Amino acid sequence: MARFWIDNGHGGADPGATANNLVEKDINLYVGLKIKHHIERHGQICGITRAGDITVPLNSRPGMINAFRPDYVVSTHQNAGGGDGYDLIYSKSKTASLELANRIASEFDKLGQNKHRIFYRLGEDGRDYYAIIRMVNAPSVIAEYAFLDTKDSKQIDEKHEQDDVARAIAKAMLEQTGIRWIEELEGDMMERLVISYGDGDWAAATLTAYKLQCSVILREIFEAHRNENKSKAYYIIGGPEDYDVLVAGADVYHLTGPDRINTARKALK
């Protein structure tokens, strides 16, 4: 299983760039959590610097990230200071960092965003200038999607655009480790749905979803949306039996037990 980390910039007392009624820390939080969601629905592991609006000092981030031992790190930001298009900053000393930056660039290109710069920056000592790039052991990329203080802000000011950015970054990160991207289907349009009850059930849930060509959603998300959900069949991984009641009228398959991977395999034969 691959391990990823999303370092969503700023937060709490540090708003980052603010312009045109946009606050960078809020965009970074929303995009960061969405990336994590996409990575996890592919059965991979993803840590995040902040899951809420809290202050996390820049100098405490590299230690936190290194302790998690991720394979790849993306630091999400937005730009300011006049300009147009995305910036991607990579490490001069790590080939994989440039590879990941190029993958993200090609996904951003597909969204129609202009390329501003893809670059590395060195300090006076000849090492990478930015702490997240220099001090994090894993290959990392700083991704700044748009300038908030110019008309470029129109590229990121709506939720569906922020969803697209998250999707682009998650796809690039997964594919960098050889994991095939599976498009997420809208919950209420799915014929079949796999619901993962807990973190320990992701592997079995992913296997099941892969075989059924459908998506995995977390129990919490399902709970929030179940009244609108119209799926005909539910595959519950590791959850309690009372899910039958929650989804009355639909076929419900429980995949439980101590070895859920094998249970999933048998049930899917």
Residues found near Zn ion in the complex (CB under 5 A): 9, 16, 77
Task: Return the structure tokens found at 162.
Answer: 């922020």
- Nearest CB to Zn ion, comparing residues 18 and 256: 18
Q: Which two tokens stand for residue 188?
A: 């209420």
SS3 125: coil
Which of 84, 61, 68, 63 is CA-nearest to residue 142?
Answer: 61
By beta-carbon proximity to Zn ion, the closer residue of 61 and 77 is 77
Rounded to a whole number of angstroms, the minimum distance from the CB of residue 241 to Zn ion is 47
Please identify, using beta-carbon distances, which residue of 9 and 70 lies nearer to Zn ion.
9
Q: Which two tokens stand for residue 163?
A: 């969803």
What residues contact 129, with CB distance under 8 A and at least 6 apart? 121, 122, 123
- DSSP class of residue 152 equals G
Q: Which is nearer to Zn ion, 144 or 201 (CB)?
A: 144
| Min CB(79)–Zn ion separation in Å | 8
SS3 category, 75: strand
Residue 3 identity:
R
Tell me the closest approach of the beta carbon of residue 78 to Zn ion, in angstroms: 6
Specify the residue, 40 or 87, whose C-beta has the smaller distance to Zn ion: 87
Residue nearest to Zn ion (CB): 77
Task: Provide the minimum distance between the beta carbon of 9 and Zn ion in the complex, in angstroms, as a whole number.
Answer: 4
Task: Provide the minimum distance between the beta carbon of 212 and Zn ion in the complex, in angstroms, as a whole number.
Answer: 40
Give the span between the Cα atoms of 193 and 212, in whole angstroms.
9
Provide the CB-side half-sphere exposure for 17 (13 A, CA). 21
CB proximity list for 57: less than 8 A, separation 6 or greater: none
Q: Provide, rounded to whole angstroms, the least separation between the CB of residue 17 and Zn ion.
A: 6
Nearer to Zn ion, 49 or 208 (CB): 49
Least Cα distance to 3 among 171, 163, 138 occurs for 138
Tell me how far, at minimum, the Cβ of 24 lies from Zn ion, in Å: 5
Which residue, 141 or 194, has its beta carbon nearer to Zn ion? 141
Q: Give CA–CA dist 46/232, Å, rounded.
A: 30
C-alpha pair distances (Å), 254 with each of 176, 196, 207, 235 = 34, 11, 14, 6
3-state secondary structure of 78: strand
